[in-house]
Chain A
Amino acid sequence: MSKQSELIAEISGVNPLKCMKCGKCSASCPSFNEMDIKPHQFVSYIQRDDIEALTASKSLYKCLSCFACVERCPRGVKPGKLIDAARQLVLRQRGQEYLSPDEVPALLDEETPQQLLMSAFRKYRR
């Protein structure tokens, strides 16, 4: 495993080897048609260490972070978290911060799950 895959595994807490290639994640994904690499393929890309292609993929920004795939995956693989982690790799590479943590409390909405906020920050700043 390359350093980058290890990093993805660490950030996401996901073990891609648990995937049984059933495709339920891709069957659940509302952005499937927008993606060049499909949710079930994220897992295979990481399994075979092709992180470059994954981080260059537009899928990272097409994922809605709805976590339907995370919810429904029968093997607890959580492909949505893998995309989340890959996205973070890209962010870390460039080291750009548009929002300082101090500004967050003012933006918080009680009703919104924090997980979703985090994902949205990462995605829509580009």
Chain B
Amino acid sequence: MQKIGVFVCHCGSNIAATVDVKKVAKMALKEPGVCHAEDYPYMCSEAGQSRIAAAIAEKGLTGIVVCSCSPRMHEATFRKAAERCGLNPYMVEIANLREHCSWIHKDMEEATEKAVILMRAAVAKVHLNTPLQAGESAVTKRALVIGGGIAGIQTAIDIADAGYKVDIVEKTPSIGGRMSQLDKTFPTLDCSACILTPKMVEAAAHENITIHTYSEVEKVSGFVGNFTVDIRKKARMVDMTKCTGCGVCQEKCPSRKTANEFNRGLNTRSAIYTPFAQAIPNVPVIDTESCIKFKTGKCGVCAAVCQAGAIDYKQQDEIITETYGAIVVATGFDTIKLDKYGEYAYGQSKDVITSLELERIMNAAGPTKGHLERLSDGKAPKEIVFIQCVGSRCSDDRGKPYCSKICCMYTAKHAMLIRDKYPDVNVTVFYIDVRTPGKNFDEFYRRAVEDYGVNYVKGQVGKVAPQPDGSLLVQGVDLLDNKQILKKADMVVLATAIEPNPDARKIATMLTASIDTNNFLTEAHPKLRPVESPTAGVFLSGVCQGPKDIPETVAQAGAAAVKVIGLLAKDKLKTNPCTAQADELLCNGCSTCANVCPYGAITYEVRLVNDHGIREERRVASVNSALCQGCGACTVACPSGAMDLQGFSNRQIIAEVDAICR
């Protein structure tokens, strides 16, 4: 028989205001095996923990139940407290009286009744607990960063500076991400390339950083400290070791009609290309879908002009396999498609553009060489209308329910830059709210109004109608005046909502990391663990976790790096002993468990089994406890009840249910 102590926490008034904690302690003493029960305002405090220690020592307790907050909060705290007193940490159970009881109930009597039941279930479980020993696993001292935008670059540099090896895997031919497409950046208006390029160069030159561009993660297996990752390095058709980056091939390539992704399709590029002049690496790739050589077999101009002999039409995709201790997701974002927003005439008129397209138009390396002009006729616009929240804050199925967070600021930036360079151009911004929290942000927006004469109108635009004379008729509302406005404009700019890179879901699935309904990766705790995924060893950096601007992205990137460094600095990790085990006598080798295991921890082996005197060879399941995460999927799937989870055995669960139903 166990000797069990029950410790009921008030959690200040969090529990005690709704649950009669004294009664729970009193009732505990009536449970079989309970030889000590007490309540205390804060069990997790130093004083609370020493009361537990004292009781263990005095009464010789063999197991304890703490009735407190969620085990996610303090299970580790109480397990450590027990371990210090020589009690096996897995002899501790938590009854969740806060999240599962006091916070969700109002009536004291009912809540107390439920609290007693939860305590009883935990006591019933402890009776069947057995001491468990955590194993150890080694940590591979290398990190993988998926996505080479500013988030991925900064995280990689910070990890590398601490002395650890980092690989960046970037899908496109160059690192840099969206920031490389921006012209100037708020709130200080410095040129984006001027502050980004040095970081790209630093990452490329760093002895601890390896960059795989034009590459994608194909497969991930393993667990924290020991991930094995297959990376597909797509064939560039250009030998990275020979190419000098002279660019002659791109100049001479006769295939020039492919939409230029970097310029958001506003102009075209050659089939062999580097996305932009400062690309890293400065080695082109051949887009085989556009290349004449690949389509017809004729051409080969680039190979003929390349002095370095770097062109290699026979290059094949290459898969490299590498092991990592930690993985950082930094896959960033894109703007949403606007095909469901017919009222704004995007797609009908070339002069209705997204803000990201405007960034390219304003950029000296962009499709108009930095001249502000209409894409339909090349004329200089005189009247520009900006529309905010396009596709953001929409609870219908056309857009996104969240605020994209960056557009109020970048529109103020665009409006100011235009008024500064072209003072004769009128700029009107239709907004719902101007959201500019952040250091020097509201001042920035006010400057647009007060110093640059940008006309902010509170209200939305209902319709943009292209006119026969080429202008755009904007029908909006001024809510403060309660007047409808009809305005002729030459150009309309849509502050288009952002969404996570469509790859995020695929990546999250590979990593078994959580993702929310909007495809943003979920953090382990929204307040206290904002850069960690709930999956151990997986960390989050940049907009893949939620909308943010560059300063916030860089701050988060650094925070993610610190978490990675903290992990890589350890030589060994304690493994969770609550893993599954198959009973070879019950297992019939059906493979059901292996099919449901999300971690690939189950294999089968043919073993000599002694079944009550009958010795025979049987195919039975075998769990790799290093891979098993203790999710329990196999235990419920197994038709013969052969799978059991240590620490959560079928007997323990049934005992809890029995105690609840008593």
**Chain B proximity of A43: nearest CB distance (Å):** 12
Contact indicator per residue, chain A 100-125, by CB within 8 Å of chain B (1) or not (0): 00000000000000000000000000
Check if A74 sits within 8 Å of B394, measured CB to CB: yes
Residues of A within 8 A of B398 (CB): 74
Q: Does chain B have a CB within 8 A of A56?
A: no
Q: Does chain A have a CB within 8 A of B461?
A: yes
Chain A residue with minimal CB distance to B476? A27
In the complex, A9→B458 CA distance in Å? 28
In the complex, A38→B481 CA distance in Å? 12
Give the contacting residue for B343; candidates A28, A40, A76; CB below 8 A: A28
In the complex, A76→B462 CA distance in Å? 15
Q: Does chain A have a CB within 8 A of B85?
A: no
Decide: A75 near B475, CB < 8 A? Known: A27-B461, A27-B484, A29-B462.
no
Chain B residue with minimal CB distance to A28? B462
Check if A40 sits within 8 Å of B395, measured CB to CB: no
Check if B394 sits within 8 Å of A68, measured CB to CB: no
Decide: A27 near B463, CB < 8 A? Known: A74-B393, A74-B395.
yes
Q: Does chain B have a CB within 8 A of A33?
A: yes
The listed residue with most B CB atoms (<10 A of its CB), out of A20, A25, A26, A27, is A27
In the complex, A32→B479 CA distance in Å? 12
**Chain B proximity of A24: nearest CB distance (Å):** 4
In the complex, A75→B484 CA distance in Å? 20
Give the contacting residue for B477; candidates A18, A27, A75, A76; CB below 8 A: A27
Contact indicator per residue, chain B 454-480, by CB within 8 Å of chain A (1) or not (0): 000011111100000000000111010
Residues of A within 8 A of B432 (CB): 20-23
Q: Does chain B have a CB within 8 A of A58?
A: no
**Chain A proximity of B145: nearest CB distance (Å):** 36
Residues of B within 8 A of A22 (CB): 389, 393, 432, 459-460
Q: Does chain A have a CB within 8 A of B647?
A: no
Contact indicator per residue, chain B 477-491, by CB within 8 Å of chain A (1) or not (0): 101001010000000
Decide: A23 near B395, CB < 8 A? Known: A32-B484, A38-B482.
no
**Chain A proximity of B346: nearest CB distance (Å):** 14
In the complex, A100→B596 CA distance in Å? 62
Residues of B within 8 A of A23 (CB): 432, 458-460, 477, 479
Check if A27 sits within 8 Å of B475, measured CB to CB: yes
Q: Does chain A have a CB within 8 A of B177?
A: no
Q: Does chain A have a CB within 8 A of B500?
A: no
Check if A76 sits within 8 Å of B396, measured CB to CB: yes
Give the contacting residue for B459; candidates A27, A29, A33, A73; CB below 8 A: A27
Q: Does chain A have a CB within 8 A of B399?
A: yes
Check if A74 sits within 8 Å of B343, measured CB to CB: no
Check if A26 sits within 8 Å of B459, measured CB to CB: yes
Residues of B within 8 A of A28 (CB): 343, 462-463, 475
Residues of A within 8 A of B458 (CB): 23
Residues of A within 8 A of B396 (CB): 73-76
A-side interface residues, number (CB < 8 Å): 22
In the complex, A40→B479 CA distance in Å? 9
Contact indicator per residue, chain A 32-55, by CB within 8 Å of chain B (1) or not (0): 110000101100000000000000
**Chain A proximity of B487: nearest CB distance (Å):** 11
- B residues 390-423 with Cβ under 8 Å of A? 393-396, 398-399
Chain A residue with minimal CB distance to B475? A27
Decide: A27 near B395, CB < 8 A? Known: A33-B484, A40-B479.
no
Residues of B within 8 A of A38 (CB): 477, 482
Contact indicator per residue, chain A 1-30, by CB within 8 Å of chain B (1) or not (0): 000000000000000001011111111110
In the complex, A76→B398 CA distance in Å? 10
In the complex, A34→B460 CA distance in Å? 19
In the complex, A3→B288 CA distance in Å? 68
- B residues 418-434 with Cβ under 8 Å of A? 432
**Chain A proximity of B215: nearest CB distance (Å):** 39
In the complex, A33→B462 CA distance in Å? 14
In the complex, A125→B525 CA distance in Å? 60
Contact indicator per residue, chain A 48-78, by CB within 8 Å of chain B (1) or not (0): 0000000000000000000010001111100
Check if A74 sits within 8 Å of B399, measured CB to CB: yes
The listed residue with most B CB atoms (<10 A of its CB), out of A23, A24, A75, is A23
Residues of A within 8 A of B460 (CB): 22-24, 27
Interchain residue pairs A-B with the least CB separation, the first 3: A28-B462, A27-B462, A24-B460
